[in-house]
Structure 1
Amino acid sequence: MWVVKIGGSLSHEPALRQWLMELCEVGGGRIVIVPGGGDFADKVRQYQSEWCFDDLAAHNMCLLAMTQYALLMQGVLPELVLASSEAKIRRALRDGHVAVWVPTALMRDTPDAMSNWDTTSDSLAAWLSTMLNAERLIVVKSCPIAGNERLDALAASGVVDRRFVDYVNEANYVVELFNKDNVELMRDRLLNTPVI
């Protein structure tokens, strides 16, 4: 099983449809998509600045932002299966589908290590990869990605969130960052990497 986090920055890119179609074509039964927050999460930042509510409320709202992006993805490609739990993810994969994670189960009543702006959908994708015992985590971004750039440098420059390195530091899965234009590389990886 591979987790593919598709950044919210792709929500206005024609490449989004291409990514979703390729993942469905060659990744059925193998891929779990984690949606970013994108514009929906940007609105949460704006409202928090305006109304000064705490990070716990912002965290819960951002999970709903990711859910909206998940719904957008399924609207673009109805073959995608929305899944809000590990059992639903595994069922979708068993049935040969691509699952899109709906992270509403991570909504909190009290603050914890996840409920702050240092932990975004990047870190949540890493958390999910660990929970599912995934083989690989691919993070797709719209910005250029240098193949040899260290994760801590990417976190320092804001390409991934500040907590991402902590989440993947001792991961037992492969972590790769892809640019939105690397759809063919993703296809090649899926077709030529043996299923474990």
Structure 2
Amino acid sequence: MHVTSSPFRGRSAARPIIVKLGGSLMGSPRLALLLADLARRGAPLVLVTGGGPLADGVRALQPRMSLSDGACHRMAILAMEQAAHAFADLAPGLVLADSLPAFARAHAQGRAALWLPARMALAAAELPESWDLTSDSLAAWLAGETGAARLILVKSAPAAAGSGPADWVAAGLVDPLFPRFAAAFGGAVDLVTPDTARVSLNEGARAA
């Protein structure tokens, strides 16, 4: 895994907490309230959006146009970028950010950052151009890149008690490459629902 020099390492500022918001939350009546809560919490959160129906559109288009996996990988990342703009519109207190320095600037203002992934992810040769890699693995990769204190996946469906990344793959909750990227990150990883996200975020804040 490629590791960049993070502006958060070796600083007095709290290490980031990466919060991945599943694409299944898009369209949920609870999404706006969740985003507002995350915006109020502010730094050191970095939010990662799933592509949701925007990425599903790429999947549907691939066989119709005979598109390569590489093209669809890039299109799906751009779908995540579009989702980030939608989330920012719902919660204006979030700061759109496309790089580690941009995260640090948002956190210096006490605000949560909302990742625009295209700039970083499309330049990362170590990320496979495959549907086996989705926004969950991208969130784990970003956690490693930032030296994050914690990675929290917020999904509509709960994980079984005591389960871990390999179990989540078997249950269809994360992509097949997620255990690899979570292991490379090496930090604490939680999978929660919107109902239990607050508890995990409070634990994450103490760990940061």
TM-score (norm 2): 0.86
* Letter matched to residue 140 of structure 1: V
Q: Is 2:165 the counterpart of 1:151?
A: yes
Q: 1:172 aligns with which of 163, 171, 186?
A: 186
Residue 54 of structure 2 is matched in structure 1 by 40
Query: Cα distance, 1:62 vs. partner?
Result: 0.5
Query: Cα distance, 1:190 vs. partner?
Result: 5.1
Aligned to 1:169, the other structure's residue is in SS state helix
Q: Is 2:49 the counterpart of 1:24?
A: no
1:10–1:180: 8 Å Cα contact kept in structure 2?
no
Residue 23 of structure 2 is matched in structure 1 by 8
Residue 98 of structure 1 is matched in structure 2 by 112
TM-score (norm 1): 0.91
Q: 1:70 aligns with which of 59, 66, 84?
A: 84
1:4–1:32: 8 Å Cα contact kept in structure 2?
yes
Q: CA RMSD in A?
A: 1.8
Unaligned runs of 5+ in 1: none
Task: Provide the C-alpha distance between the structure 1 equivalents of 2:201 and 2:68, rounded to a whole number of angstroms.
Answer: 41
Task: Provide the C-alpha distance between the structure 2 equivalents of 1:9 and 1:54, rounded to a whole number of angstroms.
Answer: 25
2:154–2:197: 8 Å Cα contact kept in structure 1?
no
Aligned to 2:86, the other structure's residue is in SS state helix
1:137–1:176: 8 Å Cα contact kept in structure 2?
yes
Could you give the per-residue CA deviations for residues 111-150 of structure 1, whole angstroms, max 9, x where no partner exists?
A: 8642110010000000000000000000011112223123
* Letter matched to residue 18 of structure 1: L
Unaligned runs of 5+ in 2: 1-15
Residue 138 of structure 1 is matched in structure 2 by 152
Task: Provide the C-alpha distance between the structure 2 equivalents of 1:142 and 1:55, rounded to a whole number of angstroms.
Answer: 27
Task: Provide the C-alpha distance between the structure 2 equivalents of 1:15 and 1:186, rounded to a whole number of angstroms.
Answer: 18
* Letter matched to residue 78 of structure 1: P
Distance 1:117 1:194, change over 3 A: closer
Alignment length, in residue pairs? 192
Task: Provide the C-alpha distance between the structure 2 equivalents of 1:108 and 1:2, rounded to a whole number of angstroms.
Answer: 23
* Letter matched to residue 182 of structure 1: T
Task: Provide the C-alpha distance between the structure 2 equivalents of 1:144 and 1:168, rounded to a whole number of angstroms.
Answer: 18
Ranges of 4+ aligned residues in structure 1 off by more than 6 Å? none
Task: Provide the C-alpha distance between the structure 2 equivalents of 1:115 and 1:84, rounded to a whole number of angstroms.
Answer: 20
Query: Cα distance, 1:108 vs. partner?
Result: 5.8
Could you give the per-residue CA deviations for residues 22-42 of structure 1, whole angstroms, max 9, x where no partner exists?
A: 11222x121000000100000
* Letter matched to residue 117 of structure 1: W
Query: Cα distance, 1:183 vs. partner?
Result: 3.6
Query: Cα distance, 1:45 vs. partner?
Result: 0.2
Percent of aligned positions that are identical? 36
Residue 101 of structure 2 is matched in structure 1 by 87
